[in-house]
Amino acid sequence: MQVAIDGPASAGKSTVAKITAKKLSFVYIDTGAMYRACTVIARDNKIDYGDEDAILKAIDKTGIEFKAVNGEQKVYAGNKDISLEIRTPEISANVSQVSALAGVRKKMVSLQRKMAGQTNVIMDGRDIGTTVLPNAEVKIFLVASAHSRAQRRLLDLKQRGIHSDKTVDEIEKDIANRDYKDSHRKISPLKKASDAIKIDTTNMTIDQVVDTILKKIKEKAKKL
């Protein structure tokens, strides 16, 4: 079974996807981490974020790898663990420019489909239900108010020990800016698939969201 979870920044996609996958013993794939890794590679090689050819070459040369270390999904650029680096506000501010590049998307989508393979999978991102896994049996589109998403992001950075001087209002602006870019790009923009179930998580706990998604998956599994 394939489960696609899409939605705007900080709607809770990766948190609930990870927990749901663990409960069901499904493989979890964080596609945002891939675009973030491409952005780290561009920055570390001092490449302009719009220079598609140079970024593609650098990705090939460096290599992006996902490894499970003590049950945690770690992201590597070559031998370097960039799991924390990919979450910094600097990378968040530039990732939408890199993810809008046609060649980068083509490369990542092909990798994502390969990773999904034939196993039970939960994949989260922006275009999973519309483009990457259009035949996914369950499609979820998570939303939440911009303000609560900004509060969640700020807390998330603190919990990860990532320093940020930004106020919640500044983070809300950053998030809105990124959502605008992600929704308005030419290739596979952020969009609810017509057959996706929309869940507004503004006033929901993580457990409530997970339970709602688990119920949808179980309902679907009964019909298969």
Q: Residues at the annotated binding site?
A: 7-15
Collapsing DSSP states into helix, strand and coil, what is residue 64?
strand
List 2, 3, 14, 116, residue binding ligand CDP (CB under 6 A): 14
In 3D space, the residue among 176, 191, 203, 171 whose CA is nearest the CA of residue 12 turns out to be 203
Query: Pattern of binders to ligand CDP over 101-140, x per CB under 6 A?
Result: ------------------------xxxx------------
189-to-6, 166, 179, 195 alpha-carbon distances in Å: 11, 27, 10, 16
Q: Which residues are annotated as a binding site for ATP?
A: 7-15
Does 204 engage in binding with ligand CDP (CB under 6 A)?
Answer: yes
Does 69 engage in binding with ligand CDP (CB under 6 A)?
Answer: no
Pinpoint the alpha helices (H) of the chain: 13-24, 31-44, 52-62, 89-99, 102-116, 146-160, 168-184, 206-223
Does 146 engage in binding with ligand CDP (CB under 6 A)?
Answer: no
Does 15 engage in binding with ligand CDP (CB under 6 A)?
Answer: yes
* Binding interface with ligand CDP (CB under 6 A): 7, 9-15, 31-32, 35-36, 95-96, 99, 125-128, 152-153, 155-156, 178, 182, 201, 204-206, 209
